Amino acid sequence: QVVTGHVDSSVSLWDVKTGRRNLCILNAHGEERLTCMELDSSHRRLITGAPSGTIKMWNLLNGLNLHKLEPVINSKVTGLTCLHGNQLLAVGWSRHIVQYNISEVKDLKVRADMSWKSSDGHKSDIMAVRQCSPLGVIATASHDGELIIWRLDTQRPIIHLQRGTQAALPVDSLVFLQHRAESITLRDRGVLVSSQAGYLCFWSVTGVKHGCFYAPKQPGERVLIMSSDQIKNSILVSGDTKGCLQIWDISSYAVDTQSQSACEQPPLLQRWSAHSRPLVCVEVLHVADREFLLTASADGSAGLWTRDGDHVGCFGQLETWSITGPATYHRRRHDKLIEDPAEMGEKNKCLTLPLRTSPVLQTHPAAISET
């Protein structure tokens, strides 16, 4: 199933196989919009964050608010990630990493754990956080361009991949390539991808940059969100501020540093205009033995696509679909690799609730934030 957060502070739970809504939570944070969402380890509880610093936990079976997490200061929460054992990490404009134990919570309010050595970390607002269990680390990125790797066991930074400066551009998105991190031969290669001013950079956690390239088709755009097929890490999907999706073949990228130039671009498999405004979420789904792409945009829609670019539909549209029946899809894609966004603009519109934050997948936990 898929969870979407809406600009009116409501949350919806959808059946990805049909597009039918199964649950709706109204006024999750009152009049505040949602800024980030995450699932717990069981995938039965949803955690949501808001601009005021409030964090709430919800039962996805009945929509009940289970717990309220103690805010550190009244500042925007931009990222959440749930570690092994249901230890939740929250980051944001407080510039701190805050931990919450949500494993066996009995009280309504959950106290904040400030044990992370955040004073050694960011000097600007934290924009993103991602975890990598195989390596025992997390990565955080801030508005001033700083990128830090932290050890989970010591709760301390181990390396600054990039130092922040006032003139630096913000890091918009992070993604760990989990399959590579699990491999003894690949874990010292490009296992972390960062997005900054449209450039996607592949890093090792030791600080080496193994590749960097500009992803959008048009100059001056940014990539706000990325995802990969974590079973193999054969593709990287990027979504830019023009609403375009790009699918890159990274099966051999940032792996062999001797035969690859640092500025070389991986093969582009597909590119199309998915939405009329910036993409704020993209996730790779494995459903019915096929790969699909889930997208959400600032244009107010969340859509489902095949890897080849067929538009299955928008969540909230009047007609449901059958994910195994292409005849029920909203639109079949033209037979060309690169589509003209102007040509596609009108075809991509559909009726749905106005989404502002990004969907969180019940089948794959992800810390997803809006920029």
Q: What CATH number should be reported for the domain holding residue 268?
A: 2.130.10.10
Domain span including residue 256: 2-369
| Average pLDDT across the chain, whole number | 86
What is the tens place of the pLDDT at every residue in 39-64?
998 888 999 999 999 999 999 999 99
Q: Is the confidence at residue 361, as pLDDT, over 60?
A: no
Contacts of 83 (CB under 8 A, 6+ apart): 89, 131, 133, 152
What is the tens place of the pLDDT at every residue in 119-168?
889 999 999 999 999 999 999 999 999 999 999 999 999 999 988 876 68
Of 40-44, 163-167, 222-226, 296-300, the range with the highest mean pLDDT is 222-226
- pLDDT at position 262 is 65
- pLDDT at position 298 is 86
Of 41-50, 165-174, 231-240, 261-270, the range with the highest mean pLDDT is 231-240
The mean pLDDT of 303-311, rounded to a whole number, is 95
Sign of CA dihedral 365, 46, 304, 268: negative
Looking at the structure of the chain, the number of domains it has is 1
Q: Model pTM?
A: 0.88
> In the structure, what pLDDT confidence band is assigned to residue 353 with cuts at 50, 70 and 90?
very low
Strand partners, 109: 68
The mean pLDDT of 19-31, rounded to a whole number, is 93
The mean pLDDT of 280-300, rounded to a whole number, is 91
What is the tens place of the pLDDT at every residue in 80-127?
999 988 999 999 999 999 999 999 888 899 999 999 998 889 999 999
Could you tell me the CA-to-CA distances from 210 to 206, 216, 236, 253, 262 in Å, in that order? 11, 20, 15, 9, 6
- pLDDT at position 261 is 66
Q: Is the confidence at residue 358, as pLDDT, over 60?
A: no
Q: Is the confidence at residue 14, as pLDDT, over 70?
A: yes
> In the structure, what pLDDT confidence band is assigned to residue 344 with cuts at 50, 70 and 90?
very low
- pLDDT at position 352 is 30
